[in-house]
Amino acid sequence: MTALGNVLAYGLTGKLTLFGAVPYLLDKDLRATMTAGRIQRSTAGFGDTKLFGRYVAYQHDVLGKSLRIAPVAGVVIPTGDYQRSDRYGRLPRSFQNGTGAWGALTGVIATYQTFDYEFDADLTYQANSRKAGYQAGNELRVDASLQYRLWPWVLPKTGLPAFLYGVLEANWVRTGADRISGNDVPNTGGSQWFFSPGLQYVTRDYVLETAVQLPVAQRMRGNALRDNYIVHLGFRVHFQ
């Protein structure tokens, strides 16, 4: 799967930030060996949209250091198509662009930043409702990230230079089984643990970043799909 993640963040106040995330699936392929031979199914298009807010509930700043704790909450809007078909018939529900159902998400984010490094951690939970008898599995995830300044090694006394950070991140995701009419769908759900090294280049106006998620452990139900690796390429622009 190749996807483009489009995210807009707007600082409504000094403490409250609003986010809108609309994924677009450029290419999503499923290859399988059936009795009739090897088949390939594919889809593309917009996925489900997430709208959420982050509020800084606790902030402690001293010279060269900052600690912030912020709860997040929002909704998942079913903007992705869940009724795609191809020449083999209706695509499996777990392979559709969207769930067709509304959802809710909540969590908390903690950030500790110094001149030399930054540590971020979050815990989020997404609950999905049911559509046409089908409910996608709820998701619990925990992420932790350490970003250490690699360049410039010594900060200049004046001016604000660009920064190059090395990133080490760990991600744990637990997804519940999908359900149809109250019954678990076989080969769906499970838990995954990733280790994600990366680089981040930060300027006043934009940020370039890349990371590779490598699976450390994957305990999936039955033959649920597993990830070999996930590559992230990011570009952020700051505007006022």
Q: How confident is the model at residue 33 (pLDDT cuts 50, 70, 90)?
A: confident
Identify the residue whose tokens are 């950030």.
111
Pairwise CA distance, residues 121 & 141, whole Å: 11
Q: Tell which residue, 5, 32, 43, 26, has the closest CA to residue 225.
A: 32
Place of tokens 């604000």: 160
Total tally of structural domains belonging to the chain: 1
First to last CA, the chain: 34
| 61: pLDDT strictly greater than 80 | yes
Q: What percent of the chain has pLDDT over 90?
A: 85
In the chain, what percentage of residues exceed pLDDT 70? Answer: 100
On the CB side of 126, how many CA atoms lie within 13 Å of its CA? 24
Domain with 150, as residue range(s), is: 2-237
What is the SS3 assignment for 94? Answer: helix
Reported as a single tens digit per residue, the pLDDT across 170-206 is 999 999 999 998 899 999 999 999 999 999 999 989 9
The predicted structure's pLDDT at residue 123: 98
Residue 113 has pLDDT above 80, yes or no: yes
Averaged over 148-164, what is the pLDDT? 87
CA distance 96 to 45: 10
What is the rounded distance in angstroms from the CA atom of residue 11 to the CA atom of residue 57? 15
The Cα-based distances of 193 to 38, 172, 216, 218 in angstroms read 31, 4, 6, 6
Spatial CB neighbours of 109, under 8 Å, sequence gap ≥ 6: 54, 69, 70, 71, 72, 120, 121, 122
According to the model, what pLDDT value does residue 206 have? 95
Confidence label for 36 from pLDDT (cuts 50, 70 and 90): low
For residue 164, name the pLDDT band (cuts at 50, 70, 90): very high
Q: What is the spatial distance between Cα 136 and Cα 129, in angstroms, rounded to a whole number?
A: 8
The predicted model gives 218-235 an average pLDDT of: 94
User: Which residue has tokens 């971020």?
Assistant: 120
Say whether pLDDT at 159 is over 90.
no
CATH of the domain at 48: 2.40.160
Helices (H) and strands (E) in the chain, counts: 0, 19
Do 211 and 195 contact (CB within 8 A), yes or no?
A: no
